[in-house]
Structure 1
């Protein structure tokens, strides 16, 4: 049973530092361990008696009374809370209903005002004179545009809602205003707004209006709402834009009159940008609209403003543009009604609780009397059974682990008599392997067992015993059929805490191996065998690691690392101990330290890797006899020791081969091979031709050539041919076919393929690049 709310208590750290390093003060350390272990045994032996004594201090009558009282109090509390929640929700829905009705009406009136402005914009955009100038503005002079300006100006002169109106002609990049005249767009005072409209293009939403502050020449700044329409309406592509700027204060004044409502508690914002369109109290809108969900069309919530006052905020999102209408109502009106309901609910609940208290006491008193005598007679029997539990507990656990159980029902009864009650039907076995820095001590092992046994119940039901070779075994009672990731994470964290405690108090690290989950008592021995399989691979486990059998069986597919064998053999033949050890480090990083699950296969793979490498060296005539036995791998207690063992083994092997290697002759062969390649690169030659010339086998020549030059012979030949071809490409009189023949390729296609592989571009592209660098382009000469 998991107890996440508890924190694991560490034992006192008396003399812990001196014991963790060296046992210098031996008598003091022995005294510390004896005292601690004796205290642990006393705690285990008398835990049952303490529980019985505590039960004696809590009368049976009191327990019955509490149980009956709970059966009354909990239903009353739950029903009261649910009823109050229902009333609160109903009251909020009432407030929200009235607010949504007002906001919907306000939104429809806004639509009517906007439609009137849109109709005016459409009327202007349908002007034939305007559309003709949009199509071809270059054939008209300033007088024609002046007439168009006067026509538009006369139509809006009597409308106090419109602040300004102008037309942007896209073809000649000019703006015609109703007040000032003609502008180049670069000189226009509202150039930024026109640039924004043009950049959005067809993606712009025609129903979105931008609220902004406009500064027109010498006039003071004015808050306006800008409407932009592409022109002409019948064209697929816009040839210009009609921009209508209406006064913001006049707009909302008209809106308020049409809606017949007070807008003092109404706010309007743009949902896409968060820009404030209208607010009655500047700054308060931020507290009202913050956190409105994007997917919700309407709703309400409680917010707190900057003064600490609460408000009930209701919002509606417009269906035809990105505006959000928000209504802010005082929360106090809602709260007053709910306070009255709350006290009514509390009075009723208190009355029912008092009546239940009286009834519970009377019922528990009546039920207790017949059991009083029986309870007193059984207390002595229980106390005797509790005191004998530690004597047989360890033996019962050992029998379960090793499958020495004949009668399951009998062992269940014996476990109960020993104080071991397993609440769940699934079991797993934990094996703990201490890694002692010095020689194993029996009293120290008992101390480790005591610490682990006292810490485990904070995570799961557990019972343990001592095993062979200083190992500890624990039966874990799991409430599920398998280890899921959440349980494995909690167990790992808990085991890490136990490990940290042992390292702090005793200077000992431990390895944890957990078998699989199995059903009923019969599965305990199977889980124990699985945990032992994990421990058999301890050479691949960290010295303080936690390994689950479930992880080891997760992936048994492991490809043999042939490339690592070849690389390791090559470094050993070259007598390069540093690179050989680097290959070992890479192998451990990729397969061991990355927690590769198939640890059993990994042990076989490591032995095969080293054996095959030694066999390959032996076949090539090398003496691989050294003073280390490869089979000692199984004696390594953890993966760090295994890493050090294999690194020492490889280093000694490289040193042994280095004594046998004579590089003087190899250097002469490589020099002759390089001389042959440089004098015959223009011919079709192969590795066999080079090997025949120097008098070696092809494989041996390739190996010593790469060791000396860093590249195989054919790669060296190819790079030499590419270098010569680059010199010939600089001469324009040679074609690609001629160059390919001059550097040793039978056809231009092979030459192009190898050139692009090593240079990243084709020979033709390389030649163009050379020509471009020699003479500037025409644009560079003319300065264009």
Structure 2
């Protein structure tokens, strides 16, 4: 409402500005002396027209300072000292205010009641340095507030307006309003209405109500509204009733949902308890009746025990996993540096330094190969060497073939400086001393180059292997460094291309294999001024290495031959390429035949025969692989490729089939405990779990079902 009042006052101020800018007004103010009564009358008529056209105006005064006269729209022309309302003019000039307004009661020359006015004044003319007069607009107070209430769309009977001096500008004249006015004046005088707006509760004699008030920023008015307490009370009760209804609906829905969810969540537990009871019914000694809580507690204890066993098994497998990861990194089976770092971190291995090198420890264990505890001695020797190295260096290792151990060395420097070499040599001597004292074994250590990234470890590993091959002129316990054995006069062997070519041969990728050959000839041979002997030696070494690794992977290449004397007969490098392309193509043709003829693999036949005869003694896939004579991973890969299933799945199928026979042998004379021991399981729970996985029912259910059907199922 305050904004509406300010807007209405602004309109009246605009009206006073328009009147003050009329030409006749400014001319009369500037020189009033020659003006006649007729001219004053014409000016009065102009002002009278403004009053008649605006219902809010009661009258207009125009004061001429130069001749000390005042012209009114209702009475005419007066000398100031004879004017009945001269007080308003004198006050405004004393305050030296260019414009303003005030609330007052006016008793004019008519015998009627005093008129309640809002008087607005403006010093004129605006263009003069000093005011030459004053324009006064008397606005009907009741008309002003009626227009204001209509404009703001509020009920005037509940409103009251008071100025800063606690003078009531507007109020109803009934008793209730007078009490309201008295309370408001008392609170305003007592400074009980803080801030620019607010609401307070007032306890009246006949009713309780809220007083909502607001102060204007541009005028000295305080606008207050009387709001009966019953209005708020009814609204509060209505809202509270609606809130209670909503809460009741939500509560009912929540209870219904809780019941549905409880039924749904308890159903799996009941099914689990029923299945557990059915399993326990298979054991004659477990027929003691138990309630559901006892059965669930017993099942949970068994799960905890099984999880503890699994955790213990995983902890025991950690060294094996670590050995395999180090082996894969050294042999370049893990290509991405980020993958290497993440997998090492999962095993708790975080390298503190920025440089890496590979080194190989070769142990003199040929005389121990035939002993039964050879593997235990090799593992113990490896652990001893690794522990001794870790006292001085940051190194992690793995077990390699041919009495060798591979290690990753993490160092803070990029080259083998004298101090580092001395420290490494001291480690070698300490390792040899322990090997001789505890095992009677000597070791030789060869170090590859140092690289700034882990993906250089494969190169360092092969450098260590080369250094280990160049030990003819060294002592048996010497520490060998690759950089000391490099002959600058010899050209580098294309090891990276050999590895890439071998990988593409195994994938039978003919186009990629041809690209590897092109890279070999273009980078290492074309334009290199090498003799035919150098070219032939390179091809001989590379093909020998490729054939050797293919043989190790189980491929027989007896039908493929390369006549190396043919290389000497070649006239140019193009003929050498064609000869080499043909040989590689023959190898890939044979590899394709190996992949197509799956069931001809003797390893798989030997593994199947072993599982069929010794299924009750096999502990793991490692037992099968040791019997066949290959690694576990290679056997698993080949077995799945040949038969379409894993070795352990094949073994489980054999055991389940044998258990079916034993369930009915000798008129069901064997218990489940006896059967599980005869087919290779250590406990009945494992036997029941695998039987149900493959046959969809428990052994006890299978026996009962078959007996019910007369021995046929």
Task: Give the structure-1-normalised TM-score.
Answer: 0.28
- Which structure's relative contact order is higher, taking Cα pairs within 8 Å and 6+ residues apart? 1
User: Which protein shows a greater Rg?
Assistant: 2
Task: Give the structure-2-normalised TM-score.
Answer: 0.30
